[in-house]
Amino acid sequence: AQSVTQLGSHVSVSEGALVLLRCNYSSSVPPYLFWYVQYPNQGLQLLLKYTTGATLVKGINGFEAEFKKSETSFHLTKPSAHMSDAAEYFCAVRGQGAQKLVFGQGTRLTINP
């Protein structure tokens, strides 16, 4: 079985500051890991994913995440926040051979001018 915990339901940063959204997962099989973003009244858009290979993955809009097996983490970062980054962010896990994505509870990112 898989599960995801996102630490912090709401994160607020200043424009230009580092963004760090935390995600820890639990999986009994090697995981595939994903970050999705949801803008208001929109569907979910894939930011980045880890399947195999390089543990540091780069995504769209300047985001990246690092898979750390020893820490069972997949934290999302962006060096410099932009006002347009304000949205809800979801971490998700899918075990290899599993049939569904399991989502964390989401983190609302607010950017202060």
Partner 1 sequence: DTAVSQTPKYLVTQMGNDKSIKCEQNLGHDTMYWYKQDSKKFLKIMFSYNNKELIINETVPNRFSPKSPDKAHLNLHINSLELGDSAVYFCASSRLRGGDTEAFFGQGTRLTVV
Binding site for partner 1 (CB under 8 A): 32, 34, 36, 38, 41-46, 49, 51-52, 88, 90, 94, 97, 99-103, 105-106, 108
Least distance in Å: CB of 33 to partner 1? 10
Considering only CA atoms, which of 53, 34, 30 is closest in space to residue 45?
Answer: 34
Q: Would you say 28 or 99 has its CB closer to partner 1?
A: 99
40 — alpha (psi -120 to 50), left (phi > 0) or beta? Answer: beta
| Pick 70 or 99: Cβ nearer partner 1 | 99
Q: How far is the CB of 104 from partner 1 (least distance, A)?
A: 9
**CA neighbours within 13 Å on the CB side: how many for 21?**
33
By beta-carbon proximity to partner 1, the closer residue of 22 and 49 is 49
Q: How far apart are CA 64 and CA 87, in angstroms?
A: 16
